[in-house]
Structure 1
């Protein structure tokens, strides 16, 4: 049986208070292990805006929006957010519908 393809990508832009960047990265890495235990999570990335130490983007892929919303309400996510909020200076979240993917692996498969 194959896993369901990701039907939702969540883009979270987050600004961390100066001096809390390393703490945030450690917290995110620790929480990422928990996120992986949710069967509807298909991957995640933490990115930082080049030259801006406190500006981060988190990308996560989910089976669908209901699965993501269930994760958001989970005790694990709520515990993470309680630790995150004191170091957070702002941010925004966008829900994106994946339409097409063009990667080297896909190009080689189609040859």
Structure 2
């Protein structure tokens, strides 16, 4: 899932703090496989959240949960605009093992 969030001017620090606190809860959910908060360079207040879920039904159930609804009630006053897109995994390539890491593994 990709979520673009445009934050009202001056609300960036509050948004980042709110997201990080909520992300700690999301991280404990078994159907969440990771998330990232990214900030757009050159576009003040524009963020992208990438989050990976087991499947769409588990993501939708999370969206309806009381914890998520409470988070959204706090987020909405900070949000100027945004959009959500569900993405379908097509392929994945894991990072290459660095020479330093490989050297340590060979010991």
TM-score category of the 2 structures, normalised to the smaller one: 0.7 to 0.9
Counterpart selection for 1:69 from 60, 71, 80: 60
TM-score under structure 2 length normalisation: 0.87
> SS of the counterpart of 1:96?
coil
> SS of the counterpart of 1:104?
coil
**Aligned residue number for residue 36 of structure 2:** 45
| Larger helix fraction of residues | 2
> Any unmatched runs of 5+ in structure 1?
1-9, 107-111
**Aligned residue number for residue 24 of structure 2:** 33
Per the TM alignment, residue 104 of structure 1 is displaced from its structure 2 partner at its CA by 2.4
Q: Are 2:93 and 1:88 equivalent residues in the alignment?
A: no
Q: How many residues align?
A: 97
Per the TM alignment, residue 103 of structure 1 is displaced from its structure 2 partner at its CA by 2.8
Distance in 2 (CA, whole Å) between partners of 1:34 and 1:53 is 27
Distance in 2 (CA, whole Å) between partners of 1:96 and 1:52 is 23
> Any unmatched runs of 5+ in structure 2?
98-107
Max radius of gyration: which structure? 2
TM-score under structure 1 length normalisation: 0.84
